[in-house]
Structure 1
Amino acid sequence: MPLIAACLSFLALTACGTVTRGTTEQVTFLSEPPGAAMRTSLGPGCPVTPCTLEVARKQEFVSTFSPPGHADVQVPVTTKLSGSGGASMAGNLVAGGLIGAGIDAHNGTAYDHTPNPVIGHMVPLTSAPAARGRRRAAPQS
């Protein structure tokens, strides 16, 4: 009986989402066209896309894609309540694990990053000046 009580107490104090989902998430970065360098406002980045980084679930950030011959593109990445993360939080509350729910909320385990994958759509830099002031040839009669 004391063992069962100890196990139930442990379960009530454990953060289910932290155990089942973890505090980090794999975020994939793609660029169109591929091959851009990518950095995040958190610090880490990738020398070439496509790539994947492990990011804390509660961290929102901006990813900046820097491809050669193209303008830099910034894509904000936010967090949203996940369906399975919300279920873990609800499970904590139903099972009496108010402390566990608080831990999950603090760790961000109930959240997912959006968008994921993060896609940077590149815009080519123009190297030729715009054709201004050119006249069309008059039609020959």
Structure 2
Amino acid sequence: MTTVLARISSDPIDPAEVSDAVSGPEHGAVLVFWGVVRDHDHGESVSALEYRAHPDAEKFLRRCCEDAAASSGLPTAAVHRVGDLTIGDTALVAAVASPHRAEAFAALQALVDRIKTEVPIWKRQQFPGGTSEWVGL
């Protein structure tokens, strides 16, 4: 199956758009990973995040979705947000649909893991008091 949706966006993400992109009457399981900005990391308070993407990040995201779809045979979709995000904002929505839940869970986990390791998007955490730090560089 082909990827229906793979996009980097500076606009808020609509999770329904992502799940609708993979949904169909043949699927009994539509699983959605909804990553939101949390207020802490490794015991430190976080006040906001900034995401920046390499100019080719969307190509990498599309490749992750297409490879996941090819290996699982299931439709996949993902949208990752960039820019300044506040606590509770949605940073990533990824979805996989399948006739059965077990294969959808495995495919969704593999997709999200691959996105987080292969798509060149960088995160800067902002801390109370005005300091900030790039994560994973």
Q: TM-score, normalised by structure 2?
A: 0.26
| Higher relative contact order (Cα pairs below 8 Å, separated by 6+ residues) | 2
TM-score normalised by the chain length of structure 1: 0.25
